[in-house]
Chains A and B, each alone.
Chain A
């Protein structure tokens, strides 16, 4: 568009609209810079919300129970871990898994864990490292499933927080109906 065809008022409105957007962007980015930076560098985005969650309140007289939590793992670490024999575990629902999942992943939806855990334990040795994922973007299912698997005695449980979307966008191989 040629500025010469715009009246001074419209030019001013356009300029102010651009300034308004720039200001909102500056505010949004300054308040969320860590989240955006982590997303673009492939690091865990939801760290404060999930991985550093405060422990549940306990009464002073209750015995202190050691709660084990899964460790986070980044996209660039996955290749080495998978080469060493780690197993990818998809914590999303069975329909999403059937449509598309990370190559080599097995399905263990958090919502069906009670029904499917016995079969999973029968097939997977407890010493084998597990890499859990779900839908990224703050999806807590992989973390919750990780806590459960640690309680069941699995020794090395990791959570790939970027999950399915980060893997897909990195162009890594997928399997499924799609």
Chain B
């Protein structure tokens, strides 16, 4: 990997690690409030919002930690890619249904509001970072090599 590619890889990896560790910690410390944010999407039955609120922060936290440590990067990126795709579908459904709520992406108790459209753009940016990390890691360790992932 060239020096520039290496800088882009590590920078993207660290940004993603920071974002998802922060998101996981902030949601995991108040899962009931986060369940309320999930419920605002009006996609799941009552109790399932609590199930999502119990699990999702730990997926984000674990993947963020792996990215920070530069270990098992591609499995973590794959999980976060799928997760982000689900977030983007949920946000799109809010826009289609005309529901204007705070996305609940980070702090469930935050007074400032992030609109679904703004959150969608942010998630699109995260997707680009995830793809960059995947591709650059892929170039560093092509299939069939022992990449230590």
Q: A residues engaging B (CB < 8 A)?
A: 7-10, 12-14, 16-17, 19-21, 23-25, 27-29, 31-33, 35-36, 38-40, 45-46, 49, 135-139, 162, 165-166, 168-169
Contacts and interface: CB of A to CB of B under 8 A. Distances in A.
Given A13-B149, A17-B75, A27-B58, A136 B144 contact: no
Contact of B54 (A8, A14, A35, A139): A35
A135 B28 CA distance: 21
Nearest to A166: B46
Query: For chain A, what secondary structure do more than half of its interface residues adopt (helix, strand, loop), or is it mixed?
Result: helix
B36 interface: yes
Contacts of A9: 143-145, 147
Interface string B129-146: 000000000000001110
**How many interface residues does chain B have, given as a range?**
35 or more
A88 B64 CA distance: 45
A62 to B, nearest CB: 31
A92 to B, nearest CB: 13
B87 to A, nearest CB: 15
B144 A7 contact: yes
B106 interface: no
Contacts of B47: 36, 39-40, 169
B12 to A, nearest CB: 18
A46 B36 CA distance: 12
A136 B46 contact: yes
A39 B62 contact: no
A41 B145 CA distance: 49
Interface centre among B32, B36, B62, B144 (most CB of A within 10 A): B32
A138 B54 contact: no
A12 B35 CA distance: 33
B116 interface: no
B49 interface: yes
Contacts of A138: 32-33, 35-36
Contact of A32 (B54, B74, B79, B145): B54
B32 A35 contact: yes
Closest 4 CB pairs of A and B: A137-B36, A32-B54, A39-B50, A16-B75
